[in-house]
């Protein structure tokens, strides 16, 4: 990954964007895609679209721009915050973490309290729900706290981006900064190759709370096909439950899902693009749903041929998600290759 692409990824990873509060991150994404898109636009909820205008065949390369997090539910009289989840935040990893409360007047640092091991009941190792946990910002009382924080302020883990061995990266929010990075890069790489089709790169909002942005964008764009790029579970680490193993490995290349929302013609086109791009492609079963924006895109406008393209990710929905940049480059090449070959497969209809 060259320096410009790495800087863009780091900028996305260090910009907070919990669902419903994505605007700052969307600005980072738009600043990048403006360099090579013919048009950029946003809607009233902040979904962002960058377009290369081409012929009548249109495809969308989409990631979701939001991340999980927390929200201030209440302020106690003695100066602590009570919080709730934004999306699928994990109660087992939140206690004892440094967090940032994003207020109208700027960031406020805090910690999620954890009773010392010396004081806990050794016979009770249960984990309290997020709603029962608290954030300590150091306020002396409720009056001081009320000067700093409002109900409804979003909260995120304080960011640490680490480079592990073999160039692998660990950070909060890989889900789904990698998706919007790949959508932007897929658009840029398609532009470099002189793509004929119209190509939209999309950064949706509020995926983590019900695929809401994709419902809006899918209806609005009405493309011939959509690729929803998101993380997927790499189950190659020791703690992955055997019964949930999916065969996906970190460093094994981009993942193409099959079944449920994944349109068979789009899937075949992706597999062909992988072969043409000399990129290894891993396959994943999705018998009921993908759990991604593809589940919203594929039913929009009476049906949009869609597929989920995944990036192997360890430790999803924790502050230490781990990905391999080689996989990420592979995703960008794969979706760009799909866009360049879109005319060969349009109108993406099933032969019945």
Instruction: Show binding-site residues for Zn(2+).
Output: 64, 175, 208, 230, 317
Q: Which of 67, 185, 207, 321 is catalytic?
A: 207
Distance set, CA 46 to CA 21, 41, 65, 86, 178 (Å): 9, 9, 10, 17, 18
Q: How far apart are the first and last CA of the chain?
A: 43
CA angle 315, 45, 190 (to 5 degrees): 65
Phi, psi of 19 (to 5 degrees): -50, 130
Cα(22)–Cα(27) distance, integer angstroms: 9
Q: Is 140 a catalytic residue?
A: no
CB proximity list for 240: less than 8 A, separation 6 or greater: 233
Calculate the CA dihedral of residues 241, 243, 246, 249 and round it to 10 degrees.
Answer: 30
- Among 95, 94, 76, smallest CA distance to 86 is for 94
Active-site residue set: 207
């Amino acid at each position: 990954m060259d320096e410009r692409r790495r800087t863009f990824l780091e900028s996305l990873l260090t910009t907070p964007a919990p669902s419903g509060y994505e605007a700052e991150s969307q600005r980072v994404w738009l600043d990048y895609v403006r360099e090579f898109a013919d048009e950029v636009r946003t809607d009233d909820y902040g979904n962002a679209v960058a377009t290369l205008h081409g012929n009548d065949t249109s495809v969308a390369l989409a990631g979701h721009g939001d991340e999980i997090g927390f929200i201030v539910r209440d302020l106690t009289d003695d100066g602590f915050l009570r919080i709730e989840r934004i999306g699928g935040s994990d109660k087992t990893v939140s206690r004892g973490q440094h967090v940032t409360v994003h207020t109208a007047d700027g960031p406020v640092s805090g910690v999620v309290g954890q009773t010392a091991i010396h004081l806990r009941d050794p016979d009770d190792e249960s984990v309290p729900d997020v709603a029962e946990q608290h954030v300590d910002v150091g306020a002396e009382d409720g009056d001081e706290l009320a000067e700093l924080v409002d109900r409804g302020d979003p909260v995120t883990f304080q960011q640490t981006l680490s480079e592990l061995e073999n160039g692998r990266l660990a950070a909060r929010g890989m889900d789904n900064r990698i998706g919007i990075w790949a959508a932007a890069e897929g658009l840029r790489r398609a532009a470099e190759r002189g793509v004929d089709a119209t190509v939209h790169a999309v950064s949706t909002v509020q995926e983590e709370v019900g695929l809401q942005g994709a419902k809006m964008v899918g209806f609005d764009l009405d493309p011939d096909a959509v690729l929803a790029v998101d993380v997927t579970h790499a189950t190659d680490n020791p703690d992955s439950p055997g019964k949930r193993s999916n065969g996906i490995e970190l460093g094994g290349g981009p993942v193409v899902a099959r079944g449920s929302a994944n349109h068979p013609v789009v899937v075949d086109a992706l597999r062909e693009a992988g072969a043409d791009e000399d990129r290894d492609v891993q396959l994943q079963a999705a018998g009921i749903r993908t759990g991604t924006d593809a589940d919203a895109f594929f039913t929009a406008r009476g049906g949009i041929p869609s597929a989920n393209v995944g990036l192997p990710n360890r430790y999803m929905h924790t502050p230490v998600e781990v990905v391999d940049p080689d996989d990420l480059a592979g995703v960008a090449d794969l979706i760009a290759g799909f866009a360049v070959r879109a005319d060969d497969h349009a109108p993406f209809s099933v032969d019945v």
